[in-house]
Structure 1
Protein backbone atom coordinates (compact mmCIF):
# COMPACT_ATOMS: atom_id res chain seq x y z
CA UNK A 1 0.00 0.00 0.00
CA UNK A 2 1.70 3.22 -1.15
CA UNK A 3 1.83 6.29 1.04
CA UNK A 4 -0.20 9.19 -0.28
CA UNK A 5 1.65 12.46 -0.80
CA UNK A 6 1.13 15.22 1.70
CA UNK A 7 -0.14 18.21 -0.27
CA UNK A 8 -0.88 21.72 0.89
CA UNK A 9 1.20 21.48 4.05
CA UNK A 10 3.95 23.77 2.79
CA UNK A 11 1.50 26.38 1.59
CA UNK A 12 -0.47 26.31 4.87
CA UNK A 13 2.73 26.54 6.89
CA UNK A 14 4.04 29.39 4.78
CA UNK A 15 0.81 31.34 5.07
CA UNK A 16 0.70 30.77 8.82
CA UNK A 17 4.34 31.79 9.28
CA UNK A 18 3.92 34.94 7.19
CA UNK A 19 0.69 35.88 8.97
CA UNK A 20 2.30 35.51 12.36
CA UNK A 21 5.41 37.41 11.27
CA UNK A 22 3.47 40.34 9.84
CA UNK A 23 1.07 40.40 12.79
CA UNK A 24 3.81 40.39 15.41
CA UNK A 25 5.92 42.83 13.42
CA UNK A 26 3.05 45.29 13.11
CA UNK A 27 2.14 44.90 16.78
CA UNK A 28 5.68 45.54 17.99
CA UNK A 29 6.08 48.46 15.60
CA UNK A 30 2.96 50.12 17.05
CA UNK A 31 4.17 49.32 20.57
CA UNK A 32 7.54 50.98 19.89
CA UNK A 33 6.05 53.96 18.06
CA UNK A 34 3.29 54.87 20.52
CA UNK A 35 4.93 53.46 23.65
CA UNK A 36 8.41 54.96 23.25
CA UNK A 37 8.93 57.20 20.24
CA UNK A 38 5.94 59.53 20.49
CA UNK A 39 6.33 60.22 24.26
CA UNK A 40 10.09 60.76 23.88
CA UNK A 41 9.55 63.16 20.99
CA UNK A 42 6.86 65.03 22.92
CA UNK A 43 9.17 65.34 25.94
CA UNK A 44 12.03 66.59 23.75
CA UNK A 45 9.82 69.16 22.05
CA UNK A 46 8.53 70.43 25.39
CA UNK A 47 12.10 70.76 26.65
CA UNK A 48 13.17 72.83 23.65
CA UNK A 49 10.02 74.99 23.83
CA UNK A 50 10.74 75.69 27.50
CA UNK A 51 14.38 76.47 26.68
CA UNK A 52 13.33 78.86 23.92
CA UNK A 53 10.91 80.60 26.27
CA UNK A 54 13.68 81.02 28.85
CA UNK A 55 16.02 82.51 26.22
CA UNK A 56 13.32 84.85 24.97
CA UNK A 57 12.49 86.07 28.48
CA UNK A 58 16.19 86.54 29.29
CA UNK A 59 16.70 88.76 26.24
CA UNK A 60 13.68 90.95 27.05
Structure 2
Protein backbone atom coordinates (compact mmCIF):
# COMPACT_ATOMS: atom_id res chain seq x y z
CA UNK A 1 0.00 0.00 0.00
CA UNK A 2 1.24 3.50 -0.80
CA UNK A 3 -0.13 7.01 -1.36
CA UNK A 4 -0.23 8.69 -4.75
CA UNK A 5 -1.38 12.08 -6.06
CA UNK A 6 -3.55 11.38 -9.13
CA UNK A 7 -2.87 13.51 -12.20
CA UNK A 8 -6.49 13.08 -13.32
CA UNK A 9 -8.69 13.69 -10.25
CA UNK A 10 -6.02 15.69 -8.35
CA UNK A 11 -6.64 13.71 -5.15
CA UNK A 12 -4.11 12.02 -2.90
CA UNK A 13 -5.32 8.46 -2.35
CA UNK A 14 -4.16 5.21 -0.79
CA UNK A 15 -3.37 2.63 -3.47
CA UNK A 16 -3.92 -1.04 -2.57
CA UNK A 17 -2.43 -4.18 -4.19
CA UNK A 18 -5.68 -5.04 -5.99
CA UNK A 19 -5.39 -1.76 -7.96
CA UNK A 20 -1.99 -2.70 -9.46
CA UNK A 21 -1.92 -3.48 -13.15
CA UNK A 22 1.81 -3.89 -13.75
CA UNK A 23 5.36 -3.53 -12.46
CA UNK A 24 8.45 -2.70 -14.50
CA UNK A 25 11.96 -3.24 -13.14
CA UNK A 26 14.02 -0.28 -14.43
CA UNK A 27 17.69 0.56 -13.89
CA UNK A 28 17.22 2.81 -10.87
CA UNK A 29 14.03 1.44 -9.33
CA UNK A 30 10.52 0.27 -10.16
CA UNK A 31 7.68 1.70 -12.24
CA UNK A 32 4.37 0.71 -10.67
CA UNK A 33 1.30 0.83 -12.91
CA UNK A 34 -2.16 0.97 -11.32
CA UNK A 35 -5.68 2.31 -11.68
CA UNK A 36 -6.71 5.22 -9.44
CA UNK A 37 -10.00 5.14 -7.54
CA UNK A 38 -11.36 7.55 -10.19
CA UNK A 39 -10.58 4.99 -12.93
CA UNK A 40 -7.58 6.78 -14.45
CA UNK A 41 -4.46 4.75 -15.28
CA UNK A 42 -1.47 6.02 -13.30
CA UNK A 43 2.25 5.31 -12.85
CA UNK A 44 4.32 5.65 -9.67
CA UNK A 45 8.13 5.44 -9.49
CA UNK A 46 10.01 4.12 -6.50
CA UNK A 47 13.83 4.28 -6.35
CA UNK A 48 16.05 1.45 -5.21
CA UNK A 49 17.83 1.91 -1.92
CA UNK A 50 21.59 2.20 -2.18
CA UNK A 51 23.42 -0.23 0.10
CA UNK A 52 25.72 1.41 2.64
CA UNK A 53 29.41 0.73 2.10
Q: Same fold (TM over 0.5)?
A: no
Indicate the structure (1 or 2) with the bigger Cα radius of gyration: 1
- TM-score, structure 2 normalization: 0.15
Higher relative contact order (CA 8 A, sep 6+): 2
More strand by share: 2
- TM-score, structure 1 normalization: 0.14
More helix by share: 1
